[in-house]
Amino acid sequence: MRFTKQWSFIGFAIIVFYSFGFSQKFKGLALTPPMGWNSWNTFKCNVDEQLIREMADAMVTSGMKDAGYQYVIIDDCWQGERDSLGFIHPDRNRFPSGMKALADYVHSKGLKFGLYSCAGSKTCGGRPGSRGHEYQDAYTYAQWGVDYLKYDWCYTEGLNSIGAYTTMRDALYAAGRPIVFSICEWGDTKPWEWAKEVGHLWRTTGDIIDCFDCEVNHGSWSSWGVLKIVDMRRGIRQYAGPDHWNDPDMLEVGRGMTTAEDRAHFSLWCMMAAPLIAGNDLRTMSKETIEILTNKEVIAIDQDSLGIQGMKFIDNYQGVEVWIKPLKNNDWAVCFLNRSEVKRKIQFDWSKHWITDDISKRTLDTQSIHFIVRDVWAKKNIGTTQKPLVGEVGIHDVLLVRLIHPQNVQ
C-alpha cells in the first residue's frame, strides 16, 4: 500500500530525528534470565508462520507457559527482501499473513514474540542483514510488536562489535518499544566486559550441539557439546546479574541426548543462571522432556531474584563435581555432576565443607544452621545438613538439591 509505505517512512524519519542524544538500553526487561523457545536448533531455515503458531500453541498446552517460558523466537531465514525505501519484509511465501499478524497471534496466547537479525550485510543464512539499516529495522520491529531481538555476527567484515551492537541498541531505544536485546557474537570480543549497558544477554561461546561432551569441527568454526561449553568460559560469573546475563547458548533438551544428559544439561544451565531458551520441537515432546523443561523447582534456581551465577566448588569429590549457587533468603543450590561412564556413590559431609562465595559475599554455615536438603528432581526432602548426604549419581547425570534455610520453612 502506497499510503502505508509513505507513513512508515515518515514515522521512521521522526524516530531518527529524535534519536540523537538517546543512548541506553531498555532497563528492567530481564531481571531474571529470559525463558522461551527458538526455532534454530531443530528447524534451521525451515520456518513459516504455521510452524510458529503451532509452537506458540504447544508452549501453552505443554505447561511451559505456566512454568515461566515467555518468548517465541523466530531465528534466521524469515526475511524476504527490502523494498525501494530499504524496509525489510518477511518472506511472503513462508509468512503470507505478515509479521504483525503473527506477533498478534503469539501475544493472544499470553506470550511474547521474538525475531532474529544480524549486524552484518547478510545473516548467517544469507538473508538481508541489518548493517546500514539498523534504525529502519528497529522501527519495523517496533511496528510489528517484537519483544525480543537476537542479533548475530555474520558478514561483519570491518565492523567493530561494540560499535555495531551499540548502534542497534540505540536504534531499538529510539523506536520506543521495549525489546530484549540478545547479543550473539559468540564471545569473540569478550562481551561480558563491555555489554552490560548494551544488551540484556550475550553469547559466551560458539553454537551448541546436541551432545553431552563433544566438538564438531566445521572447518573455520566448531559446534560444542554441553560440557565443552561449561568448561569454555571460567572466571566470568562476576559479570552476570539482573538485566545482564552470560548466555551459554540455547537448550538441547529433547534433541537426542539421554534423559540423564538432558537433566544434567538443564541443571547446569540453571546453576549458571543462564537464559532458558528451548530448541526442540514442542509439538512432539516426550513425557520425560516435558518433565525436565517444566520442573518449577529446578527453574526457580535459574530464576532466583538474587541473580548470582553459580560456580564449580570442587573439581573431584568421590568422582563427581560439586557446584554451588547462592539463592535469595539464604537458601543455596548444590549440584553434584557425574561426567563419567560409571555410576558414582557419594557421601557428602556438610560439616566438613566451609562454602563461601566472594561474588555474593555469602557463606554457607551448616555447623550452626541446619538446612533442609530437598532433592528438586525427585521433589522431596531427603534430610538435613546435620547428617551427610548419601546418594548415587547416575552416568552423565546429576543430583541437584536445594538447601532450605530454617527461616523459610512454613
Look at residue 85 and tell me whether its pLDDT is greater than 60: yes
Sign (positive or negative) of CA dihedral 400, 406, 408, 410: positive
pTM attached to this predicted model: 0.95
Q: What is the mean pLDDT of residues 99-109?
A: 98
At 96 the pLDDT is 98
Residue pLDDT, tens place only, 120-169: 999 999 999 999 999 999 999 999 999 999 999 999 999 999 999 999 99
Compute the distance between CA of residue 369 and CA of residue 181 in angstroms, rounded to an integer.
41
Supply the residues annotated as catalytic: 152, 207
> What pLDDT score does 410 carry?
76
Assign 398 a pLDDT band (cuts: 50, 70, 90): very high
Residue 20 has pLDDT above 70, yes or no: no
Asked if pLDDT for residue 2 goes beyond 80, the answer is no
Give the rounded distance of the alpha carbon of 234 from its chain centre: 18
Percent of the chain with pLDDT over 70: 95
For the domain bounded by 2-302, which CATH number is listed?
A: 3.20.20.70
What is the pLDDT confidence band of residue 15, given thresholds at 50, 70 and 90? low
Domain topology for 311-408 = Immunoglobulin-like (2.60.40)
Rounded CA separation 187/193 (Å): 10
Q: What was the pLDDT predicted at 407?
A: 95
pLDDT greater than 50 at residue 224? yes
Helix, strand, or coil (residue 82): strand
pLDDT band at 199 (very low <50, low <70, confident <90, very high): very high
Q: Where in the chain is the domain with CATH 3.20.20.70?
A: 2-302
Identify the H or E element spanning 88.
strand 88-90
Under the banding of pLDDT at 50, 70 and 90, the label for residue 379 is very high
| Residue ranges matching CATH 2.60.40.1180 in the chain | 311-408
Across 239-265, average pLDDT: 98
What is the secondary structure of 335-402 as a DSSP string?
EEE--SSS-EEEEE-GGG--EEETTTTEEE-TTTS-PEEEETTTTEEEEETTS-EEEEE-TT-EEEEE
pLDDT tens readout for residues 322-369? 999 999 999 999 999 999 999 999 999 999 998 889 999 999 999 999
pLDDT at 23: 72
Mean of the per-residue pLDDT values for the chain? 95
- Does residue 17 surpass a pLDDT of 60? no
Question: Is the Cα torsion angle 143, 144, 148, 154 positive or negative in sign?
Answer: negative
Whole-number Å distance between alpha carbons of 297 and 329: 15
* Cell 561449561 belongs to residue: 230
Residue 108: all three cell numbers together = 493472544
